[in-house]
Amino acid sequence: MWVQSIGIENRDFGRNNGKKQPAFKRVWEEHVSWGANYVAKTGKTNFKLFSFPDAKAVFVEVADKAKIGLSNMKERIVNFVGIAGAATAITNVVPKDDESKIYPMAHNGDGVYEIKDVDAKPEDKYRYIVVTKDNDVNLVKDPYAKKQEDINGWSSIYVNNYEWKNTAWLKGLDTRRIVRKPQENLRGLERLVIAEINIPTMSDAGNFDAAKENIDKIASKKIATAIEILPVENTYSLQWGYDGVDKFAVNEKLGGATKLKELVDYAHGKGLNVIIDMVPNHMGPDGDYLTQTGPYEKGPGEFGGEFNYEGKNNRYVRDWMTNAALWWASEYKVDGLRLDMTKLCGSDYLLMQIVNEINEHFPDVFIIAEDGRDNKESITRYEPNKGSHIDNLSFIDTQVDYISKQKGWNSTPGNIGFDSEWDFPFMQILKKALLEPGANLLSSLDYRIKTSNHRVKYAMSHDEIGNEDGTRLIVKVVSRHLDLFNKVNGYSDAEKGQRAAHAAQKLSELIVSNDFPKMTDEQLKAKEEEFGLNTFISKNDLRDAFNTAIAKQKLAHGTIFTIPGPKMYFQGDEVGDLSYFKFFREFSGEKYKRAESDGYKNSIIGQKGYDTLEEIARPDSIVCKIEPQGYYKDVKNQMRNFNAELRCLIDKTPVLQSGNIVSTYNDNNHNVHIHHLQLGTDEVLIIKNYGHGFHDKNYGFYGFPQNGQWREIFSSDEKKYGGSGYNNKRPDVITNMNQNLSLAPYSFIILKKVG
């Protein structure tokens, strides 16, 4: 089908001829007007796109999915019509045949192109055709695509047909729901215990349906109150998800939009809040057509295209990413958003805009930043912004407009207003305290404990595991405890570090195997040599290292869980999982590069210590792939019960949820730290031993309160948790005059004031 040609005298088809348009007011109807919107009442579809303000013309091409096989967006050609005598001056584009239709879009100003009542139905395919000012014809997908089956393919017209089952949750009638500002029976962020999960490694199948089994386990033991799902933005392959290029579309390899909704609904039914991770700081390297679509990017960055949030023609770019956040909240009913590495967005005003819009339209949805600016107070400042929603947006627009005109000038708002953020400094000092025995670190840890109550505390996330060597905290402790760095060979410190890490992984898997208890020294020595060790390590020393690692995992969780405010652990850590979690992804040209030369693969292995190809790294990273046997056949249940009972205690003890830290004490000589919490008349003491020694003495000099009676209500060293039971040697009622508080290495106790 041919469309009417654009004449010479009307070459700037659909332009507004310089007429200034009304300011974008950002009412809800505007937020949801972008992209392809099917109207059931009329059976027609409206299309709206932000493209180049100086484009010659923009078209939308629609094809019936049932009539034509569409894969790559560039495969189906478009013919164009030029002006006589100047063939490069394109005046019109026409479809290849009658299997598709092309519609010209009107330019409403500022690069906003629109057409309404197009004969297009759900699941039909569409793409945009952008004729630039230089007469280039760009074939691009929709940056607002809600369904994108192939990142290099046509977009699909999306319609929501899902009926939510757990409506009580959505209406705020389920008391397990966590919201920004607790009201009536709904809980606040102090009740957040987050299990960070990666869908591709939650099961062998690696999809939303299969993840439900592990979500059942998390919910049944009440080990978490929320799950945080690593990004599911559309990417080339199954991976971590931080290379997404379709910011509104769910990765079809994981199951697509409907299956994600089913998973969110399912988790709500199990009493779990759902946080979705989104990536506002960059585009992935595969399937990025934004530079051909409009001024969305300012240039390439370390991880992919970086966004034009504060340059020329920035407003609709900021609105685009803000609308992505609103889309996850509105369409997928998530309870919270976590924004990836916000300091790399290049615009705190974009972040402030997202916060303002979410607070206005979804006031119950909380927002967590991964920021990394050393807990800068303006990121999560508590006092509410006194300006109205519209006033705040006007302020943002004015500031960014000024910035865009002042080359090199930088400005940041005084209060971004995130509800919480990942506590990097706390994580780093806790990890150091656990991995560097004898280091004089408790003073730093003491400071971080006192300042972390409103931030998300954790020992390790996906980054600290997968971006280092793929091994978890337990394995890292085994490596440090046995000094494996000095027991392996290597040409450089980096190589020795990787070899030590992977030797520790193999040793840990051996220690929990059925074969280990009956191995002779000769057999053990042969295995250790096979693992790359140049020094023999006895069975007793291996067991001591592994027992220490288990105790430190419990100590890490005990430290985190007993500090009021939100906290988090990574999938599998609740049962002491030993499985790898490797960084994995595959790019579209990677197989070709590998076939050409081993250099590409070897450079990756040299950096990570392992191959990151999805089909190699992902199978090693399936949660709980390793099943402990032998001496440690009960360790998973012991760890699960430890975490479940600690969580149950917190649920029953409000002072552990939202108490104030009234005092702390640290003794670097004995590696003991105490923090004292109070809420009303309730008081608890958490006494933690970060040292390798046993303590059985009077603890008065550790700052034990001078008044009241205390009783132990929890000990990580209980035999039922796999501990030694050493901590149990104490009187039933404790006072400042009767404090023979025995502590096993790397253990903690909780005392509650009674009477």
Distance CA 195, CA 225 (A): 8
154, HSE (Cβ side, Cα atoms, 13 Å): 25
Q: What pLDDT is recorded for position 1?
A: 30
With H, G, I as helix, E, B as strand and everything else as coil, classify residue 103: strand
CB 735 within 8 A of CB 708: yes
182-186, 372-376, 544-548, range with greatest mean pLDDT? 544-548
With H, G, I as helix, E, B as strand and everything else as coil, classify residue 247: strand
- Looking at CATH, the fold of the domain delimited by 8-156 is given as Immunoglobulin-like (2.60.40)
pLDDT at 422 over 60: yes
Q: What is the mean pLDDT of the chain?
A: 89
Q: What pLDDT is recorded for position 699?
A: 54
Q: What pLDDT is recorded for position 15?
A: 32
User: What would the pLDDT profile of 204-220 be if each residue is shown by its tens digit?
Assistant: 999 999 999 999 999 99
pLDDT at 6 over 60: no
Question: Phi/psi zone of residue 287: left (φ > 0), alpha (ψ -120 to 50 degrees), beta?
Answer: left
Q: How confident is the model at residue 17 (pLDDT cuts 50, 70, 90)?
A: very low
Q: What pLDDT is recorded for position 512?
A: 97
CB 279 within 8 A of CB 229: no
Distance CA 642, CA 644 (A): 6
User: What would the pLDDT profile of 559-574 be if each residue is shown by its tens digit?
Assistant: 999 999 999 999 999 9
With H, G, I as helix, E, B as strand and everything else as coil, classify residue 562: coil
CB 333 within 8 A of CB 263: no
Lowest mean pLDDT among 292-301, 490-499, 531-540, 733-742: 733-742
- Name the residue among 727, 726, 551 with its Cα closest to residue 639: 551
Give strand pairing partners of 37: 46
- Name the residue among 317, 333, 321, 193 with its Cα closest to residue 261: 333
C-alpha pair distances (Å), 679 with each of 654, 674, 706, 713, 752 = 8, 17, 18, 17, 12
User: What would the pLDDT profile of 693-714 be if each residue is shown by its tens digit?
Assistant: 887 665 554 567 778 888 899 9
Q: What pLDDT is recorded for position 2?
A: 32
Length of the chain as a residue count? 755
Q: What pLDDT is recorded for position 385?
A: 63
Distance CA 624, CA 241 (A): 21
Give strand pairing partners of 100: 63
| Tokens at 545, concatenated | 């290292």
Q: How confident is the model at residue 408 (pLDDT cuts 50, 70, 90)?
A: low
Q: Are strands 125-131 and 155-156 parallel, antiparallel or unpaired?
A: antiparallel
Q: What pLDDT is recorded for position 633?
A: 97
Q: Domain 638-754 is of which CATH architecture?
A: Sandwich (2.60)
Query: pLDDT above 70 covers what percent of the chain?
Result: 91
Distance CA 322, CA 352 (A): 10
Report CA dihedral (469, 474, 476, 478) to the nearest 10 degrees: -130
Neighbouring C-beta atoms of residue 98, cutoff 10 Å? 9
Report residue 354: phi and psi, to 5°. -60, -45
pLDDT at 102 over 90: yes
Give the domain ranges of the chain: 8-156, 183-422, 638-754
pLDDT at 18 over 90: no
Distance CA 698, CA 712 (A): 15
DSSP secondary structure of 694-752: -B-SB-GGGT--SSSEEEEEEETT-GGGT--SGGG-S-SSBBTTB-B--B-TT-EEEEE
pLDDT at 743 over 90: no
User: What would the pLDDT profile of 227-271 be if each residue is shown by its tens digit?
Assistant: 999 999 999 888 999 999 999 999 999 999 999 999 999 999 999
CA-CA-CA-CA torsion sign (668, 671, 674, 675): positive
Distance CA 357, CA 546 (A): 49
Q: How confident is the model at residue 462 (pLDDT cuts 50, 70, 90)?
A: very high
Between 122 and 300, where is the model more confident?
Answer: 122
Query: Using alpha carbons only, how large is the chain's radius of gyration in Å?
Result: 29
CATH of 183-422 among 3.20.20.80, 3.30.450.20, 3.40.50.300, 3.30.830.10: 3.20.20.80
Lowest mean pLDDT among 141-150, 167-176, 565-574, 723-732: 723-732
C-alpha pair distances (Å), 265 with each of 203, 259, 268 = 19, 10, 5
| Tokens at 457, concatenated | 């505390």
Residue 591 CB partners (closer than 8 Å, separation 6+): none
Distance CA 258, CA 231 (A): 16
Lowest mean pLDDT among 173-187, 397-411, 587-601: 587-601
Q: What pLDDT is recorded for position 698?
A: 57
pLDDT at 288 over 70: yes
Q: What is the mean pLDDT of residues 433-461?
A: 88
User: What would the pLDDT profile of 579-599 be if each residue is shown by its tens digit?
Assistant: 999 999 888 877 777 877 888
Q: What pLDDT is recorded for position 78?
A: 76
The reply to whether domains 8-156 and 638-754 share a CATH topology is: yes
Distance CA 217, CA 221 (A): 6
User: What would the pLDDT profile of 633-691 be if each residue is shown by its tens digit?
Assistant: 999 999 999 999 999 999 999 999 999 999 998 888 788 899 999 999 999 999 999 98
pLDDT at 172 over 80: yes
Q: What pLDDT is recorded for position 83?
A: 57
Q: What pLDDT is recorded for position 14?
A: 31
Q: What pLDDT is recorded for position 101?
A: 93
CB 753 within 8 A of CB 709: yes
CB 24 within 8 A of CB 294: no
Query: Which amino acid is located at 475 in the chain?
Result: V
- Name the residue among 311, 316, 309 with its Cα closest to residue 352: 309
Q: What is the mean pLDDT of residues 319-334?
A: 97
CB 63 within 8 A of CB 99: yes
CB 52 within 8 A of CB 138: no
Q: What pLDDT is recorded for position 703?
A: 63
- Name the residue among 251, 177, 194 with its Cα closest to residue 228: 194
Give strand pairing partners of 364: none
C-alpha pair distances (Å), 315 with each of 50, 264, 294, 322 = 10, 32, 12, 11
- Name the residue among 563, 637, 617 with its Cα closest to residue 198: 617
Exposure string of 25-46, with b = 16+ CB inside 10 Å and e = fewer, is ebeeeebeebbbbbeeeeeebb
Q: What is the mean pLDDT of residues 104-132?
A: 95
Q: What is the mean pLDDT of residues 737-741?
A: 70
Query: Which amino acid is located at 101 in the chain?
Result: K
